[in-house]
C-alpha cells in the first residue's frame, strides 16, 4: 500500500518532534517546556475542527504531499531558528501539516482498496502508524545523540520531505481501476 509509506514519514517525523520537543524547549529558553506541545495540540485539534471538510474537497495525494512539505518546513524552522519564537513558529507549521496528513493518507489508502479489503487497508495503515511512532523516535534519538536535538529535527524534516517527494511520485503513477480519481488527484 504505497500511500502508507508517505503516512509513515509524517508519523516518524512527528514522533521525533514529540519525543524531543520538551528537551529542545528547555534548551532554547522556555520557562515551561510544555508550551510547544500545547501549541502543537491546539493547532492540530483546532485546525481539524475548522478545516474538517478540506480533505473531502481536495485530492488526497496532493494534499498529503503538501502536508508533508509543511511538516518538513516546520521542523526545519525548529532546527535552524533555535529560539522560543522559532520553536513556536516551526511547531505551528508542523502541526498544520499533521492536521492534513492523517486524513489525506487514510483517504488515499481507502480510495485504492476494494470494499472487501478496507479492513486490511486499515490494518496496514495502522501498522505504519505504529512503525512511525516507534521507529521515528528511536532513529531520531540516535541522530540526537550524534548531532544534537536540532540535528534530529533536521533529519526529521528530511524524512518528511522524502515522504512528500514519494507522495508526489505516487500522484503521477497510474491508479488501479477502482480508484476514485477525485481522491487521488488523477
55 to 44, 105, 173, 181: CA distances (angstroms): 14, 10, 21, 14
112 domain residue, yes or no: yes
Distance between CA atoms of residues 183 and 97, nearest Å: 18
What is the pTM (predicted TM-score) of this model?
0.89
Confidence of residue 62 (pLDDT cuts 50, 70, 90): very high
Query: Buried b vs exposed e over 148-159: b needs ≥16 C-beta within 10 Å?
Result: bbbebbbbbbbb
pLDDT of 185 reads 56
75 domain residue, yes or no: yes
184 domain residue, yes or no: no
CATH of the domain at 150: 1.20.1250.20
| Nine-digit cell string for 15 | 514522533
Q: How many domains does the chain have?
A: 1
185 domain residue, yes or no: no
Q: Which domain holds residue 62?
A: 2-171
41 domain residue, yes or no: yes
182 domain residue, yes or no: no
Distance between CA atoms of residues 107 and 109, nearest Å: 5
Confidence of residue 181 (pLDDT cuts 50, 70, 90): very low
pLDDT of 166 reads 96
Amino acid at each position: 500500500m504505497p500511500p502508507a509509506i508517505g503516512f509513515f514519514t509524517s508519523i516518524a517525523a512527528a514522533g521525533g518532534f514529540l519525543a524531543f520537543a520538551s528537551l529542545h524547549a528547555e534548551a532554547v529558553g522556555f520557562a515551561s517546556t510544555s508550551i510547544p506541545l500545547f501549541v502543537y495540540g491546539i493547532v492540530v485539534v483546532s485546525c481539524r475542527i475548522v478545516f474538517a471538510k478540506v480533505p473531502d474537497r481536495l485530492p488526497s495525494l496532493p494534499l498529503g504531499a503538501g502536508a508533508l512539505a509543511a511538516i518538513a518546513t516546520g521542523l526545519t524552522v525548529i532546527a535552524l531558528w533555535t529560539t522560543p519564537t522559532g520553536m513556536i513558529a516551526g511547531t505551528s507549521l508542523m502541526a498544520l501539516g499533521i492536521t492534513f496528513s492523517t486524513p489525506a493518507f487514510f483517504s488515499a489508502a481507502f480510495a485504492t482498496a476494494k470494499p472487501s479489503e478496507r479492513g486490511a487497508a486499515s490494518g496496514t495503515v495502522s501498522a505504519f502508524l505504529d512503525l512511525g511512532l516507534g521507529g521515528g523516535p528511536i532513529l531520531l534519538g540516535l541522530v540526537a545523540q550524534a548531532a544534537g536535538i536540532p540535528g534530529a529535527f533536521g533529519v526529521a524534516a528530511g524524512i518528511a520531505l522524502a515522504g512528500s517527494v514519494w507522495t508526489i511520485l505516487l500522484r503521477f503513477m497510474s491508479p488501479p481501476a477502482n480508484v476514485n480519481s477525485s481522491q487521488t488527484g488523477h
